[in-house]
Amino acid sequence: MSAAEYESVLRLADSLNRDEKLRLIRELAIRAAEDSGRSTERSILELAGLGKEIWNGVDAQEYVSRERASWNG
């Protein structure tokens, strides 16, 4: 894959919403493990820091408060 194709794929991935990005990550991880012949059994620690850019600029307390408020309708 050329650098331009790779950048194009990254731009497409950036256009996905959070759930779609997480689904894509899972699918790619499974395929990479299959390609390498390794077991699909993984450590949760491998996910550390994954997707942190999604939360850039988000106030954690504000987010939690909004989520809790949505529970009541």
Domain assignment present for 62:
no
Alpha helices in the chain (DSSP H): 3-14, 18-36, 60-71
Q: Has residue 67 been placed in a domain?
A: no
Residues of the chain with pLDDT under 50: none
Is 28 within a domain? Answer: yes
Contacts of 24 (CB under 8 A, 6+ apart): 13, 16
What pLDDT score does 48 carry? Answer: 92
Give domain status of residue 55, yes or no.
no
Number of domains observed in the structure of the chain:
1
Any domain includes 38: yes
User: 26: domain range?
Assistant: 1-42
* Residue 35 included in any domain: yes
In a domain, 11, yes or no: yes
**Which pLDDT value is given to residue 39?**
60
The pLDDT, as a whole number, for residue 27 is 93
Q: Please count the helices (runs of H) and the strands (runs of E) in the chain.
A: 3, 0
Global pTM reads 0.45
Determine, yes or no, domain membership for 51.
no
pLDDT per position as a tens digit, 17-32 = 999 999 999 999 988 8
